[in-house]
């Protein structure tokens, strides 16, 4: 690899990037993916492969199932990539959007795959059971949308870009926010997100309190890469207690994704790899697009910062990205 080998960032998406059929191509083509799905099914107590590939009972979009499914898919993508590249590429930094932060901790070896599965299984269950409300993404800056949101008892749930802020609240309150935004900014159209609650807002307080003892029981190891915290926007400290606190606060505080990216840029990241999930209307995995690519490229452009980007979200892109790593001179 070129001289930026130690300036690599691995990123992982969160909810909203799941789809029926996710991982089916990986399971068919790669033995290591079958191993990942088998391990996940044993830990979870149900067939995560069947749920992800076929979704026979229409459960994939329920938070308690979405989160383990996405974690499993992202880890499968990562493990295939590691196998195809002889695991010689070592990221300096790992980051994930919301749920993806847990996958980043797995990638950095802070959490084992088993531990992360158990955590997100309980996290998803608590968020789905005790959460309420909905979420909308607004193409507006934080200081513009926040007073409108708070006027209608809603809260900021995510700061994805300087001009993209996510807001959460009860459906009727969120409608008032959307209406006021349309009146003030006719061309700034909000997008309602498909979630079971107003995640990363005070509507998750009860879920967070019930999740806290679950975090206390989890084992955290020494990091092999620095991991970014959604809660602070900066790096997690090495202390497991501090990491637990960050994951606890993440449940009911905004995801500081743009700050995460700026922190990575400030650390000198030159190459970004995205693993897992997929968005778009295509019905098969090979037609899906990466979830985080647009935000990453817009953030780097706004910051006038150059970093190469590659995705590894399905069989074709994993092979292409592995070929790039194995034969950089040909790329």
pLDDT digits (tens, 9 = 90+) for 194-206: 788 999 999 999 9
How buried is residue 2: exposed, middle or buried, by Cβ count under 10 Å (0-12/13-18/19+)? exposed
With beta carbons less than 8 A apart as the criterion, state whether 122 and 255 touch: no
Q: Once rounded to an integer, what is the mean pLDDT over residues 151-170?
A: 97
Closest CA to 306 of 269, 251, 259: 269
Over the stretch 282-325, which tens digit does the pLDDT of each residue have? 999 999 999 999 999 999 999 999 999 999 999 999 999 999 99
Distance CA 231, CA 260 (A): 9
Phi, psi of 161 (to 5 degrees): -150, 165
Contact 178, 190 (CB under 8 A): yes
pLDDT digits (tens, 9 = 90+) for 127-140: 999 988 999 999 99
Q: Quickly list DSSP for 44-85.
A: HTS-HHHHHHT-TTS-TTSHHHHHHHHHHHHHHHHHHHHHHT
For the segment 38-46, the average pLDDT, to the nearest whole number, is 98
Is residue 200 among the annotated active site residues?
Answer: yes
Mean per-residue pLDDT, 65-83 = 98
Is the pLDDT at 230 greater than 70? The verdict is yes
**Confidence category of residue 331, pLDDT binned at 50, 70, 90:** low
Query: Confidence band (pLDDT; 50, 70, 90) for 1?
Result: very low
In the chain the domains, ranked by start, together with CATH numbers, are 8-130+201-330 (3.40.366.10), 134-193 (3.30.70.250)
Active-site residue flag, 17? no
Spatial separation of the C-alpha atoms in residues 166 and 138, rounded to whole Å: 6
pLDDT tens for 247-261 read 999 999 999 999 999
H/E segment holding residue 263: helix 257-266
Judge contact between 52 and 72, C-beta under 8 A. Answer: yes
As a whole number, mean pLDDT of residues 56-66 equals: 95
Residue from 41, 52, 74, 98 carrying the catalytic annotation: 98
Among 97, 200, 236, 258, which one carries the catalytic annotation?
Answer: 200
d(CA 142, CA 106): 31
Mapped onto helix, strand or coil, the DSSP state of residue 162 is coil
Give the mean pLDDT of 229-240: 96
């Amino acid at each position: 690899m070129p001289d930026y080998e130690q300036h690599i960032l691995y990123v992982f998406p969160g909810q909203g990037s799941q789809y029926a059929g996710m991982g089916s191509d990986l399971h068919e083509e790669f033995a290591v993916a079958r191993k990942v799905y088998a391990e996940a099914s044993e830990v979870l107590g149900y067939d995560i492969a069947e749920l992800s590939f076929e979704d026979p009972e229409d459960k994939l979009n329920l938070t308690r199932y979405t989160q383990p499914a996405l974690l499993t898919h992202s880890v499968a993508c990562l493990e295939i990539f590691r196998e195809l590249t002889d695991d010689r590429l070592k990221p300096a930094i790992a980051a994930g959007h919301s749920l993806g932060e847990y996958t980043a901790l797995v990638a950095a070896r802070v959490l084992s795959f088993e531990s992360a599965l158990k955590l997100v299984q309980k996290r998803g269950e608590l968020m789905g059971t005790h959460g309420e409300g909905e979420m909308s993404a607004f193409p507006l800056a934080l200081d513009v949308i926040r007073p409108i949101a708070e006027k209608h008892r809603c809260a900021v749930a995510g700061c994805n870009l300087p001009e993209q802020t996510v807001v959460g609240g009860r459906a009727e309150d969120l409608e008032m926010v959307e209406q006021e935004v349309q009146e003030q900014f006719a061309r700034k159209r909000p997008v309602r997100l498909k979630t079971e609650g107003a995640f990363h807002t005070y509507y998750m307080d009860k879920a967070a309190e019930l999740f806290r003892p679950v975090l206390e029981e989890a084992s955290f190891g020494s990091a092999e890469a620095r991991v970014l915290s959604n809660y602070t926007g900066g790096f997690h400290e090495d202390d497991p207690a501090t990491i637990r606190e960050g994951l606890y606060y993440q449940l009911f505080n905004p995801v500081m994704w743009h700050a995460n990216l700026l922190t990575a840029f400030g650390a000198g990241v030159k190459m970004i790899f995205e693993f897992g999930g997929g968005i778009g209307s295509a019905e098969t995995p090979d037609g899906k697009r990466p979830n985080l690519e647009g935000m990453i490229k817009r953030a780097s452009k706004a910051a006038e910062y150059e970093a190469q980007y590659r995705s590894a979200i399905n069989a074709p892109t994993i092979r292409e990205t592995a070929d790039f790593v194995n034969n950089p001179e040909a790329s």
